[in-house]
A and B are shown apart, each in its own frame.
Chain A
Amino acid sequence: MTVRAQAVTRLVNHQPVKDAQTKTYVRLVLPKLLIQVALLDVDICGPSIPKIMGLEGEQVHQSGSGWSPVYVEDNLAVMSIGFLLSSPDDAVIWRGPKKNGMIKQFLRDVDWGEVDYLIVDTPPGTSDEHLSIVQYLSGAGIDGAVIITTPQVNNRKSCDEGKSFLTEVPDSPAAVAYQNIVQKIRDYCSSNSTSDEPC
């Protein structure tokens, strides 16, 4: 299948295995770099992108050229199932095949326009959503994956599982790990601690 974005020059598949909610904050950096960015939320059961990007309550419109994504800035377009739900209490209780169908629709029917970077936020785990997005985008080519983690050993193990997934699936290039949260704690303690011991 063809991705509707007219010029998708680079695809970065964002691949967190054990979800740290803060992983999504990383995406706020790229739009400042004067490039066209598309952000696709394929966490069908737990779409957090609308809230994190300050887009709660936004609706998706349909036209002759397809669904229009929601624009945060002129160069940052966002699509999420969150925009199709009418209430924050609405639950998406779908099995794998239906989720896959939705992801396909997002890629096929959304009028992304010209895009330099398509960033895909995936749910935790290594399942339908991950297999499908890699499969559907295989024609366009995925540049790579970013794995977000926190320092705990359990999460490092999950990152290994994520990397293992990427090697099992063809055309999924290398991954980069990024550690989050720990600096926030260090910064707080170093400026507020009354103890002589370093944190």
Chain B
Amino acid sequence: MDSSEKGNLDQVKHVVLVLSGKGGVGKSTITTELALALRHAGKKLGILDVDLCGPSIPRMLSVGKPEVHQCDAGWVPVYADPQQQLALMSIGFLLEDSDEAVVWRGPKKTALIGQFVSDVAWGELDVLLVDTPPGTSDEHLAVLENLRKHKVDGAVLVTTPQAVSTGDVRREITFCKKTGVKILGIVENMSGFVCPHCSECSNIFSKGGGEELAKLTGSVFLGSVPLDPLLTASLEEGRDFLQAFPESSTYTAISQIANTLLSSLDA
């Protein structure tokens, strides 16, 4: 390995993959909220968005369409805050047209991910969260191959309560076992619905599938996050939900998950 590759990830203390079996479970949402919660806890964060066909994190963090610059060590990440505690690199930054579809086959995706992993000048980070697309294919293998030289602490698996989703997460668990990635825990998203008018958390969708799955597979259950329209609206507008609604039960849920994750990383 050359010295610049070693340098770019060398000061990153922990690397955590965020995986899901199926799309639409809110993986990017969980990645974003975990990053914001860890930042509120005083940590320095990086997010690598390798969902090449559906990069949504730039919008969630309200960074828009910044220009990406290069320095001697590689790409300079984009900072989502003036204090530079939350760094982000996403394929979304490299697209000219925000409505443009990235229609690439596996080999091209693999090559770009390789660049992302080794050529971003992250600097010092406490945690680098890697947001992946759903599934177990080119992107996931590319991330692991390129991170092989650096330690991957493990993966957080996101599911929704429905059995269809948990069924897909079982395949992700197998992927982790086959590739030697430690499972840091399972997060059940969209677990219950918080109506801002009724102020009740109702279970119009099912609940508990993620926790059952954790028991079944001997994994840690990190916690559940409800379907909260205030959270959804914050993400659409690129606002920090945790700063805007610190009293909400959703805030408590996300913070607890972040703290549990941090404890297991520092252990």
Point out the residue from A16, A46, A158, A162 that lies within 8 Å of B168, measured CB to CB. A46
User: Contact: B56 with A48, CB < 8 Å?
Assistant: no
Residues from chain B with Cβ under 8 Å of A157 in the complex: 56, 59, 98-99
Residues from chain B with Cβ under 8 Å of A95 in the complex: 106, 110, 137-138, 141
Within 8 A of B (CB), among A68-104: 88-97, 99
CB-CB nearest in chain A for B172: A91
Point out the residue from A51, A162, A192, A199 that lies within 8 Å of B164, measured CB to CB. A51
Interface size (B, Cβ < 8 Å)? Answer: 57
Known: A88-B170, A91-B171, A126-B103. A19 touches B197 (CB 8 A): no
Residues from chain A with Cβ under 8 Å of B109 in the complex: 127
Point out the residue from B137, B167, B174 that lies within 8 Å of A94, measured CB to CB. B137
User: Contact: A93 with B136, CB < 8 Å?
Assistant: yes
User: Contact: A45 with B171, CB < 8 Å?
Assistant: yes
Known: A48-B22, A48-B164. A198 touches B197 (CB 8 A): yes
In the complex, what distance in Å separates the CA atom of A195 from the CA atom of B135? 41
User: Contact: A21 with B165, CB < 8 Å?
Assistant: yes
CB-CB nearest in chain B for A56: B167
The range of chain A's interface size is: 35 or more
How many whole Å from B176's CB to the nearest CB in chain A? Answer: 9
Chain A residues at the B interface, C-beta cutoff of 8 Å:
16-21, 43-46, 48, 51-52, 88-97, 99, 123-128, 130-131, 150, 152-154, 157-158, 160-162, 164-165, 168-169, 184-185, 188-189, 192-195, 197-199
Residues from chain B with Cβ under 8 Å of A198 in the complex: 197
CB-CB nearest in chain B for A96: B106
Chain B residues at the A interface, C-beta cutoff of 8 Å:
21-25, 28, 51, 53-54, 56, 59-60, 98-107, 109-110, 133-138, 140-141, 160, 162-165, 167-168, 170-175, 178-179, 193, 195, 197-199, 202, 204, 232, 235-236
How many whole Å from A48's CB to the nearest CB in chain B? Answer: 5
In the complex, what distance in Å separates the CA atom of A198 from the CA atom of B24? 27
Known: A91-B174, A127-B104, A188-B204. A21 touches B235 (CB 8 A): no
User: Contact: A130 with B103, CB < 8 Å?
Assistant: yes
CB-CB nearest in chain A for B109: A127
Listed by A's residue number, 7 A-B pairs whose Cβ atoms lie within 8 Å are A18-B23, A18-B24, A46-B171, A123-B135, A154-B235, A185-B204, A193-B195
User: Contact: B170 with A20, CB < 8 Å?
Assistant: no
Across chains A and B, which 3 residue pairs bring their CB atoms closest together, nearest first?
Answer: A96-B106, A19-B23, A124-B23
User: Contact: B137 with A21, CB < 8 Å?
Assistant: no
CB-CB nearest in chain A for B100: A164
User: Contact: A189 with B197, CB < 8 Å?
Assistant: yes
Apart from A89-B173, A93-B140, what are 12 other A-B pairs with CB-CB below 8 Å?
A18-B56, A21-B160, A45-B171, A48-B164, A48-B168, A51-B163, A89-B170, A92-B136, A123-B23, A124-B133, A154-B28, A199-B198
CB-CB nearest in chain B for A194: B198
Residues from chain B with Cβ under 8 Å of A92 in the complex: 136, 171
User: Contact: B202 with A125, CB < 8 Å?
Assistant: no
Residues from chain B with Cβ under 8 Å of A123 in the complex: 23, 134-135
User: Contact: B197 with A96, CB < 8 Å?
Assistant: no
Known: A18-B54, A95-B106, A162-B101. A154 touches B135 (CB 8 A): no
